[in-house]
Amino acid sequence: MHGELSNLTRTNRMIGFFSLRGYLGYLFAALVLADAIAGYAHHTQVLARSRQQPSSCADTYTPTTFTLKGVAYVKLLTWHFTTVPNTTQLAFEVVNAANDISTGCSLQNVEINGQWGDDTKYWYSCADRSLTIDEEEYPVRTSAHIVWDDWNLTVNQTWDCGGESAVTHISSVTLAPTCQEYQGDFQYVNDCKAPDLEAAATTQELDTTY
């Protein structure tokens, strides 16, 4: 009888340990993205204090570059935890050299009922910002598209500088991440970081008079 109780106690402890490890795996994945977003927020505040806004609309129309920083990726797959969905998430900061705007993006796909969302043509919205020129504020809209399997990322930023056309800067890059995989009894985590990079962006003007 004592031996049976010992075995039962040992089994319960093992179940508790594996359940805790599964939870910690999920928590770890969440903390990785939280750290990336927190880092972006702090860096954005510093940039806002140190950068100067363009002096005229013409300054923002020239060919430019996007700088990507703090690129963090997490893929989380879980078993036996029905309240925790399988997710893939990419977070980063993007700075446009033409208008000195810094913003953050967080792209996330979720598996529901065994099917991942089809985001092959979907553009994820990034945090909204504004451009101040001659004491006038103009909204700046940034979006991003990702081909997950190829690590191909496209960033699009658009604003209307008070004229009859909107300016769009767009850039595509292929990320080169370094990844660490964690496999447990209840979860799989793929944690990746990609180095900062600067990429050329093309300029388009969109007619806004229609």
Average pLDDT in the chain: 76
Q: With bands split at pLDDT 50, 70 and 90, how would you rate the model's confidence at 42?
A: very low
**Rounded to an integer, what distance in angstroms lies between the CA atom of residue 169 and that of residue 161?**
13
pLDDT, position 31? 46
Alpha-carbon distance values, 56 to 53, 73, 135, 136 (Å): 9, 37, 11, 11
How confident is the model at residue 176, as a pLDDT? Answer: 95
172: Cβ contacts below 8 Å, ≥ 6 apart: 152, 153, 154, 155, 199
Residue 74, helix vs strand vs coil: strand
Residue 119 class from Cβ within 10 Å (0-12 exposed, 13-18 middle, 19+ buried)? middle
Strand 152-160 to strand 136-147: parallel, antiparallel, or no bridges (unpaired)?
antiparallel
Q: Is residue 6 scored above 80 in pLDDT?
A: no
Please tell me the predicted confidence (pLDDT) of residue 162.
67
pLDDT tens per residue across span 60-84: 667 689 999 999 999 999 887 667 7
Structure tokens at 106: 């967080």
How much is the average pLDDT of 10-32? 41
Give the confidence band of 205 by pLDDT, cuts at 50, 70, 90.
Answer: low
What is the H or E stretch that residue 23 is in? helix 2-50
The answer to whether 41 and 157 are in contact (CB under 8 A) is no
Is this prediction's pTM over 0.75? no
Structural domain span for residue 189: 2-207
How many domains, in total, are found in the chain? Answer: 1
* pLDDT of residue 187 exceeding 50: yes
Alpha-carbon distance 1 to 207, whole Å? 83
pLDDT at residue 72, as a whole number: 97
Element containing residue 185 per DSSP (H, E) = none
CATH assignment at residue 125: 2.40.350.20
Is 93:206 a contact under the CB 8 Å cutoff?
no
Task: Check: CB of residue 66 under 8 Å from CB of residue 169.
Answer: yes
